[in-house]
Amino acid sequence: MATPIDRSELESRIHDLARQLGEAAISIGGSLGTTHRRCGRAGCRCATDDLYKHPSRLLNSKVTGKTKSIYIPVAIAGEVEQWVQRRQKMKELLKQIDSLAEQIIRAHVPVQKDARADRPRRKSTTRTSSRSS
Ligand SMILES: [Zn+2]
């Protein structure tokens, strides 16, 4: 790690990220995919042409280890893409918050170690618990 950053600087960065999270609106987890399927209408090309199916958007997500896919109606596809992107942004913000909070924790440890190292009195006094008989 390079030079440690001031704690208040780290905290203000975290607050900034948390504020961005607070502004987040509707979002959804998962990844977008494409599949092809028949629409079911009798006169449609997909009913007569064996090789033709309509491209369709899917939202894939893992639910307790299993992959779950839901069809996204064309009319709402653009919106859902935004939700997915927004969720990815939120995840990214959380990751950054994790990293900054971790830096605060790590920066804290050496301070305590140094304070203890200043007065090495190991052998001289052994603290005995008052409960020992
Ligand atoms: Zn069709």
Distance (angstroms) between ligand 1 centre and the Cα of 37 equals 8
pLDDT value for 119: 57
Residue 93: partners with Cβ closer than 8 Å, 6 or more residues away:
17, 20, 21
pLDDT value for 122: 55
The domain spans of the chain are 7-108
Distance (angstroms) between ligand 1 centre and the Cα of 133 equals 86
Distance (angstroms) between ligand 1 centre and the Cα of 50 equals 11
d(CA 35, CA 14): 40
pLDDT value for 133: 45
Long-range contacts of 66-72 (CB under 8 A, 24+ apart): 69/33, 69/35, 71/37, 72/32
Distance (angstroms) between ligand 1 centre and the Cα of 97 equals 47
Distance (angstroms) between ligand 1 centre and the Cα of 47 equals 6
> How do the pLDDT tens digits run along the chain, 133 residues long?
556 678 999 999 999 999 998 887 899 999 999 999 898 899 999 999 999 998 889 999 998 999 999 999 889 999 999 999 999 999 999 999 999 999 999 887 655 555 555 555 555 555 555 554 4
Phi, psi values for residue 102, rounded to 5°: -65, -40
pLDDT value for 27: 94
**C-alpha separations of 26 from 16, 22, 72, 81, 100 in Å:** 20, 11, 16, 11, 25
Distance (angstroms) between ligand 1 centre and the Cα of 28 equals 28
> 22, exposed or middle or buried, with CB in 10 Å at 0-12, 13-18, 19+?
exposed
pLDDT value for 22: 85
Torsion of CA 45, 48, 54, 58, to 10 degrees: 150
pLDDT value for 24: 78
Distance (angstroms) between ligand 1 centre and the Cα of 77 equals 18
Distance (angstroms) between ligand 1 centre and the Cα of 60 equals 23
Distance (angstroms) between ligand 1 centre and the Cα of 51 equals 12
